[in-house]
């Protein structure tokens, strides 16, 4: 039976004053929040530790997590800047907090130069590269102002981290490699060592060779929109620390890609990326936007989306990623806004239908006036409808739960499948197999063997191999379900019309439930913090789909959605065109 459903939409965004003033106000609160994470007592043995679970609650973790120390960069970036935070946290206090955080960061480093992120003896590339970059920028910003008791151990630790990073590379996650290049360029600036500059340039050369012809930097085999903005931030820091021009060249391609896939909304449809993240960091876009109109256009939209509360921001992100990314990166953005002295400019609105087709990333964007629809062919035709006045509205495909409680999703990234092109009749077809969703809680049952193994991992390379094996299993399981989604999308004047067909194989087994997927199958801890909306089908429709699959029949679902978020008729049938 036909059904009309209006998707709840947020109210129109409020008028907001100057971007710099708005961000200053946000950072005034954020600085106090970050300070509350830290042990600020100089007499304490854990003075400068920002991992509150470790130094204050004491029994929640057996090591001090490195990611929390990245708050040092937020304090360093705010030090000396004019902003409301100085009315609540004095400038001298920001300097003291930055120095204390740097010194504790140096104290928790392994002798080989690496750091731990998620568990003891992990020796992870990610926090070593990213907090190395944070320490390098902090020391650069605070040169001549830090006490020697803070600066000297931090610089020694940074050099050890640089040596460790120079001989390593993460082919799966490019933003981490760019952060490593920041670390190395920072060392070159701080020490004058030409060998550090050569190591930094070698790192950037590897990144440039890995960059696709479409401009994006691979994140687990595909293009991720949120982590692209973080990579752009790191590229800006690289350029500011004196790279030869490679960082600017890489940034040029990345800016072009982001400008193509942004669409008309104030928030990028991040759930359509390879890691499903919707971060919207603005420092890099502001920095390169001084001379690049595309970057300035992106910065304008992203700032508007942040001010409207559509994107994950300083007030809504969880504590770990607040300390790791949001507080430090937005503090750098505040410094950049203060330098330029003006808000980034908006581009001209689109008055005609424009299609951006990125074949390698799998993203296709159809823009018309103030509406756009984005499709990811790498996620089996997952779609997002966007406008400047609302959060993205997604239909990512389907998630099923089997009788034994295991979850499988059609929103599984496929880096190798052939990509169909948009037909002359504005029709796009995709197909994808369902893959396992990483949803277990391993330490519920495996705490003792896991901790025992972690304590025995004293050799660096062995620790790294163990960490990589754990991550592969936790992030993106390989198991497939004998179930396939074939999707046909038709673009119309008012939105999209979709025909989905779920095709079971003979050994499918029993399906307990079917739902519209709200997340992609990959487990990325920072991906599940945006506030986007998901199209929901009536429970009777989902029950009908499950019943047909359990009877060994294909289930066809026909549905439509307008640009304004109104879900049209949803109908199910056995196969072929929806009844």
Total residue count of the chain as it appears in this document? 579
- The burial class, CB within 10 Å (0-12 / 13-18 / 19+), for 436 is middle
Is the separation of the CB atoms in 104 and 46 below 8 Å? yes
User: Among 294, 309, 340, which residue terminates a domain?
Assistant: 340
Q: Is residue 160 domain-shared with residue 267, that is, in the same domain? A: yes
Q: What is the DSSP string of 159-178?
A: HHHHHHHHT---TTBHHHHH
| 363-387 CB burial, b ≥16 within 10 A, e <16 | bbbbbbeebbbbbbbbbbbbbbbbb
Sign of CA dihedral 525, 526, 530, 534: negative
What is the end-to-end Cα distance of the chain in Å, rounded? Answer: 10
If one counts every other C-beta atom within 10 angstroms of the C-beta of residue 132, the result is 30
Residue 152: inside a domain, yes or no?
yes
Residue 371: inside a domain, yes or no?
yes
What's the confidence (pLDDT) of residue 129? 98
Residue 30: inside a domain, yes or no?
no
For residue 359, pLDDT beyond 80: yes
Which of 64-73, 447-456, 513-522 reaches the highest mean pLDDT?
Answer: 64-73
At 443, phi and psi to the nearest 5? -80, 0
Residue 40: inside a domain, yes or no?
yes
Q: Whole-angstrom Cα distance, residue 575 to residue 579? A: 9
Q: Is residue 318 domain-shared with residue 425, that is, in the same domain? A: no
User: Among 311, 340, 369, which residue terminates a domain?
Assistant: 340
Q: Is residue 194 domain-shared with residue 111, that is, in the same domain? A: yes
Average pLDDT over residues 302-328: 95
Domain with 180 in it: what CATH number? 1.50.10.100
Residue 542: inside a domain, yes or no?
yes
Residue 483: inside a domain, yes or no?
yes
Q: pLDDT digit string (tens) for 119-130?
A: 888 889 999 999
CB within 8 Å of 448: residues ≥ 6 apart: none
User: Among 315, 340, 365, which residue terminates a domain?
Assistant: 340
Is residue 300 within a helix (H) or strand (E), and if so which, with residue range?
helix 293-307
Q: Is residue 376 domain-shared with residue 303, that is, in the same domain? A: no
Q: Whole-angstrom Cα distance, residue 460 to residue 186? A: 25
At 354, phi and psi to the nearest 5? -130, 135
Question: Helix, strand or coil for residue 500?
Answer: strand
Of the CA atoms within 13 Å of residue 57, those in its CB half-sphere come to: 12
Q: Is residue 416 domain-shared with residue 308, that is, in the same domain? A: no
Q: pLDDT digit string (tens) for 254-286?
A: 999 999 999 999 999 999 999 999 999 999 999
User: Residue 13: which pLDDT band, with cuts at 50, 70 and 90?
Assistant: very low
Q: Is residue 284 domain-shared with residue 140, that is, in the same domain? A: yes
Give the bridge partners for 124, in sequence order: 115
Range of the domain at 532: 354-438+476-573
Tally the domains of the chain: 2
Q: Is residue 401 domain-shared with residue 281, that is, in the same domain? A: no
Residue in 366, 356, 374, 492 with CA at minimum distance from that of residue 425: 492
What does R_g of the chain's alpha carbons equal in angstroms? 24
Q: Is residue 143 domain-shared with residue 247, that is, in the same domain? A: yes
Q: Is residue 366 domain-shared with residue 336, that is, in the same domain? A: no
Q: Is residue 372 domain-shared with residue 313, that is, in the same domain? A: no
At 336, phi and psi to the nearest 5? -65, -40
Q: pLDDT digit string (tens) for 386-441?
A: 999 889 999 999 999 999 999 999 999 886 655 666 766 789 999 999 999 977 66
Q: State percent of the chain over pLDDT 90.
A: 71
Tokens at 478, concatenated: 């390989």
Residue 10: inside a domain, yes or no?
no
Tokens at 479, concatenated: 């198991």
Tokens at 314, concatenated: 């300083």
Q: pLDDT digit string (tens) for 445-476?
A: 656 666 666 666 666 676 767 666 666 666 66
| Dihedral class, residue 571 (left if φ above 0, else alpha if ψ from -120 to 50, else beta) | beta
- The burial class, CB within 10 Å (0-12 / 13-18 / 19+), for 18 is exposed
Long-range CB contact pairs, 80-87, < 8 A, 24+: 81/334, 81/335, 81/338, 82/338, 83/24, 83/27, 83/28, 83/334, 84/24, 84/25, 84/27, 84/28, 85/24, 85/27, 85/28, 85/30, 85/31, 85/32, 87/28
Q: Is the pTM of this model over 0.85?
A: yes
Give the bridge partners for 201, in sequence order: none
Q: Is residue 310 domain-shared with residue 276, that is, in the same domain? A: yes
Tokens at 454, concatenated: 């972690």
Q: Is residue 136 domain-shared with residue 95, that is, in the same domain? A: yes
Residue 7: inside a domain, yes or no?
no
Question: Helix, strand or coil for residue 479?
Answer: coil
DSSP letter (8 states) at residue 325: I
């Amino acid at each position: 039976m036909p059904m009309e459903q209006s998707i709840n939409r947020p109210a129109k965004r409020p008028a907001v004053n100057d971007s710099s003033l708005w961000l200053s106000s946000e950072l005034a609160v954020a600085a106090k929040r970050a300070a509350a994470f830290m042990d600020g007592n100089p007499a304490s043995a854990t003075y400068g530790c920002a991992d509150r679970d470790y130094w204050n609650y004491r029994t929640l973790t057996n090591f001090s997590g490195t990611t929390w120390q990245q708050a040092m960069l937020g304090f360093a970036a705010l030090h000396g800047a004019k902003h409301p935070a100085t009315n609540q946290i004095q400038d001298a206090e920001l300097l003291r907090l930055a120095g204390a955080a740097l010194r504790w960061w140096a104290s928790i480093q392994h002798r080989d130069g690496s750091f731990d992120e998620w568990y003891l003896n992990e020796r992870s590339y990610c926090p070593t590269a990213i907090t190395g970059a944070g320490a390098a920028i902090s020391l650069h910003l605070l040169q001549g102002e830090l006490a020697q008791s803070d600066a000297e151990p931090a610089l020694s630790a940074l050099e050890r981290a640089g040596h460790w990073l120079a001989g390593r590379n993460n082919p799966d996650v490019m933003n981490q490699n760019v952060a490593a290049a920041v670390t190395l360029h920072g060392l070159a600036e701080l020490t004058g060592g030409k060998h550090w500059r050569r190591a930094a340039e070698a790192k950037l050369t590897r990144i440039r060779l890995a960059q696709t012809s479409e401009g994006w930097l691979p994140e687990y085999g595909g293009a991720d929109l949120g982590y692209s903005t973080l990579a752009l931030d790191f590229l800006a820091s690289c350029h500011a620390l004196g790279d030869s021009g490679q960082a600017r060249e890489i940034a040029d391609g990345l800016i072009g890609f982001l400008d193509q896939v942004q669409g008309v909304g104030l928030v990028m449809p991040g759930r359509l990326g390879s890691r499903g993240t919707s971060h919207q960091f603005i420092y890099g876009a502001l920095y390169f936007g001084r001379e690049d109109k595309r970057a300035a256009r992106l910065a304008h939209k992203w700032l508007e989306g942040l001010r409207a509360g559509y994107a994950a921001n300083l007030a809504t992100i969880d504590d770990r990623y607040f300390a790791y990314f949001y507080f430090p990166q937005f503090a750098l953005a505040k410094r950049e806004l203060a330098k330029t002295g003006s808000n980034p400019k908006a581009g001209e609105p689109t008055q005609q239908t424009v299609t951006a087709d990125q074949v390698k990333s799998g993203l296709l964007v159809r823009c018309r006036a103030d509406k756009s629809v984005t499709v990811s062919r790498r996620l089996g035709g997952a779609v997002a409808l966007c406008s400047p006045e609302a959060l993205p509205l997604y239909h990512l495909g389907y998630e099923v739960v089997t009788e034994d409680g295991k979850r499988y999703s059609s929103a599984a990234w496929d880096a190798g499948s052939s990509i169909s092109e948009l037909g002359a009749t504005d029709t796009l077809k995709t197909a994808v197999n369902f893959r396992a969703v990483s949803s277990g809680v391993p330490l519920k049952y495996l705490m003792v063997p896991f901790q025992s193994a972690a304590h025995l991992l004293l050799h660096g390379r062995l620790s790294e191999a163990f960490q990589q094996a754990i991550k592969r299993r936790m992030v993106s399981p390989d198991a497939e379900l004998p179930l396939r989604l074939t999707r046909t999308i038709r673009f119309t004047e008012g939105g999209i019309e979709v025909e989905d067909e779920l095709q079971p194989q003979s050994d499918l087994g029993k399906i307990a439930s079917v739902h519209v997927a709200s997340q992609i199958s990959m487990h990325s801890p920072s991906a599940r913090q945006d506030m986007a909306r998901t199209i929901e089908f009536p429970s009777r429709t989902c029950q009908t789909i499950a019943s047909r699959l359990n009877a060994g029949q294909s289930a066809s679902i026909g549905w439509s959605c307008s640009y304004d978020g109104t879900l049209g008729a949803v109908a199910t049938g056995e196969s072929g065109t929806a009844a």
